[in-house]
């Protein structure tokens, strides 16, 4: 493909030059860049940078790909890299990737560069571009969405990692005939300070919430509603917390932590799972540590997430289920306005091959109390 200069929105894509070497070294030796690019030499030396400029990038072009330096359109200083590689000519598809130097972050450089190169790649004859991110690389996933790429799934153990072993990769794809603009998100971000009524606050679950989430999800009454009804191992809880931000961006579930505003302590969890986007239905799950119960905090938290689901997310119907003998959460649901719709017999797997019933509650926007 021709190595033409591409002008983007606040960025310029151009071939690498010898005077990019110092910035290449500084960028590729940055801890955040190394964290997500396992294949980079560590440390990254001037010799590595000179090899890339003189041999590595030209080889990408020779094999039909594209390897661009991302530069400031005014000063022409190196800001990062973007490229297209791993072509499958018979399918007219390839993989796109990018990274941004620390002095250029927070300016939309990656998004602008990805949009520019995506458009150029499609104009050059490709019809499908794949983009892969690590599950914990939320910033890169936001770039993918902003550049119009759609989540397509997880490729298990797709990437080798530094030091041995393999990592999962999240796959994002854009087709040449996809609509222009960013990809629509089913679950938007919370306001900058989360949701609060002054007594409780809700914030997104993160990697630092493993202890709390493991305590919550190993409570007997919570385990009873799991499928299967077995307590999670700590590794499973760690993975859920690590993937929480990604799951939110993808649109499957918004995992939330309940915080007591007066003390700043966290003692509960809520999950809004968008189980039927086509019908506008989402499922609500909630749990609270035993010593937090009886203070009305969970009811307040549920009201907050209900209002956000209806008024901001645009959900049309919320539902929740619990075992018939688990009376406390049913009282919480009824206080918020949920109506009991019936019992689904044998809905959940129980212990030793049994089946257990589930009481189903539902809420419409006009039912709120």
Q: How far apart are CA 353 and CA 346, in angstroms?
A: 11
What is the percent of the chain with per-residue pLDDT over 90, rounded to a whole number? 82
Q: Is residue 229 assigned to a domain?
A: yes
Q: Is residue 122 assigned to a domain?
A: yes
The CA-CA-CA angle for residues 38, 149, 35, to 5°, reads: 15
Tell how strand 317-322 and strand 355-363 pair up.
antiparallel
What's the confidence (pLDDT) of residue 223? 84
Average pLDDT over residues 244-273: 95
- The CATH number of the domain holding residue 14 is 3.40.630.30
Clarify whether residues 335 and 215 are in a common domain. Answer: yes
Clarify whether residues 204 and 89 are in a common domain. Answer: no
Clarify whether residues 203 and 157 are in a common domain. Answer: no
Clarify whether residues 100 and 237 are in a common domain. Answer: no
What's the confidence (pLDDT) of residue 1? 57
Q: Is residue 112 assigned to a domain?
A: yes
Clarify whether residues 247 and 289 are in a common domain. Answer: yes
Q: How far apart are CA 337 and CA 334, in angstroms?
A: 5
Average pLDDT over residues 215-228: 85
What's the confidence (pLDDT) of residue 162? 80
| Torsions phi, psi for 367 (to 5 deg) | -85, -10
Per-residue pLDDT band at 230 (split at 50, 70, 90):
confident
Average pLDDT over residues 341-359: 90
Clarify whether residues 147 and 211 are in a common domain. Answer: no
Clarify whether residues 99 and 205 are in a common domain. Answer: no
How many domains, in total, are found in the chain? 2
Clarify whether residues 95 and 147 are in a common domain. Answer: yes
> How confident is the model over 114-130, as pLDDT tens digits?
999 999 999 999 999 99
Average pLDDT over residues 127-150: 96
Clarify whether residues 70 and 116 are in a common domain. Answer: yes
SS3 content of the chain, % helix, strand, coil (to 5): 35, 30, 35
What's the confidence (pLDDT) of residue 139? 95
Q: Contact 362/339 with Cβ under 8 angstroms?
A: yes
Q: Is residue 182 assigned to a domain?
A: no
Rounded to the nearest integer, the mean pLDDT of the chain is 93
Q: Is residue 45 assigned to a domain?
A: yes
> How confident is the model over 154-188, as pLDDT tens digits?
999 888 888 788 988 999 999 999 999 999 999 99
User: Residue 184 — left, alpha, or beta (φ > 0 → left; ψ -120 to 50 → alpha)?
Assistant: beta
> How confident is the model over 282-340, as pLDDT tens digits?
999 999 999 998 899 999 999 999 999 999 999 999 999 988 988 989 999 999 999 99
Per-residue pLDDT band at 229 (split at 50, 70, 90):
confident
Q: How far apart are CA 252 and CA 274, in angstroms?
A: 6
What's the confidence (pLDDT) of residue 99? 96
What's the confidence (pLDDT) of residue 221? 81
Clarify whether residues 237 and 105 are in a common domain. Answer: no
Q: Is residue 1 assigned to a domain?
A: no
User: Whose structure tokens read 């080889």?
Assistant: 59
Could you give the C-alpha distances from 103 to 71, 77, 79, 266, in angstroms and in order?
12, 11, 7, 35
Average pLDDT over residues 142-159: 94
pTM value surpassing 0.95: no
> 176: closest CA among 143, 144, 128?
128
Q: Is residue 26 assigned to a domain?
A: yes
Residues spanned by the domain of 338: 195-367
Clarify whether residues 353 and 226 are in a common domain. Answer: yes
Clarify whether residues 211 and 329 are in a common domain. Answer: yes
What's the confidence (pLDDT) of residue 2? 60
Kindly tell me if the per-residue pLDDT of 63 is higher than 90: yes
Q: How far apart are CA 93 and CA 171, in angstroms?
A: 14
Per-residue pLDDT band at 351 (split at 50, 70, 90):
confident
What's the confidence (pLDDT) of residue 226? 80
What's the confidence (pLDDT) of residue 15? 96
Q: Which of 135-149, 173-187, 346-360 has the lowest mean pLDDT?
A: 346-360
Q: Is residue 75 assigned to a domain?
A: yes
What's the confidence (pLDDT) of residue 196? 97
């Amino acid at each position: 493909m021709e190595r033409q200069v591409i002008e983007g929105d606040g960025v310029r894509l151009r071939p690498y030059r010898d005077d990019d070497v110092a910035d290449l070294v500084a960028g590729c030796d940055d801890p955040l860049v190394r964290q997500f690019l396992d294949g980079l030499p560590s440390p990254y030396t001037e010799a590595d940078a000179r090899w890339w400029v003189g041999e590595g990038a030209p080889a990408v072009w020779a094999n039909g790909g594209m390897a661009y330096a991302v530069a400031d359109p005014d000063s022409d200083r190196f800001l990062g890299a973007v490229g297209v590689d791993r072509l499958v000519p018979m399918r007219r598809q390839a993989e796109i990737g990018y990274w941004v130097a620390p002095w250029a972050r927070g300016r939309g450089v990656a998004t602008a560069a990805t949009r520019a190169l995506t458009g150029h790649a499609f104009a050059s004859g490709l019809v499908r571009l794949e983009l892969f991110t690590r599950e914990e690389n939320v910033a890169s996933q936001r770039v993918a969405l902003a550049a119009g790429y759609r989540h397509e799934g997880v490729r298990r153990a797709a990437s080798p990692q530094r030091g041995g072993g393999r990592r999962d990769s999240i796959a994002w794809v854009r087709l040449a005939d996809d609509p222009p603009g960013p990809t629509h998100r089913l679950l938007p971000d919370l306001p900058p300070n989360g949701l609060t009524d002054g007594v409780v606050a809700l914030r997104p679950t993160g990697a630092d919430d493993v202890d709390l989430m493991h305590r919550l999800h190993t409570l007997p009454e919570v385990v009873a509603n799991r499928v299967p009804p077995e307590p999670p191992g700590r590794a499973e809880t760690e993975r859920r917390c690590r993937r929480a931000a990604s799951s939110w961006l993808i649109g499957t579930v918004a995992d939330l932590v309940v915080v007591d505003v007066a003390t700043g302590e966290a003692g509960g969890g809520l999950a809004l799972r968008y189980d039927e986007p086509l019908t506008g239905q989402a499922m609500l799950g909630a749990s609270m540590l035993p010593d937090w119960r009886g203070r009305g905090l969970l009811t307040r938290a549920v009201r907050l997430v209900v209002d956000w689901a209806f008024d901001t997310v645009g959900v049309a119907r919320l539902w929740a289920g619990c075992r018939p003998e688990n009376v406390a959460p049913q009282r919480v649901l009824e206080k918020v306005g949920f109506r009991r719709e019936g019992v689904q017999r044998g809905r959940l797997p129980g212990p030793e091959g049994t089946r257990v019933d589930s009481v189903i509650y539902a809420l419409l926007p006009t039912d709120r109390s």
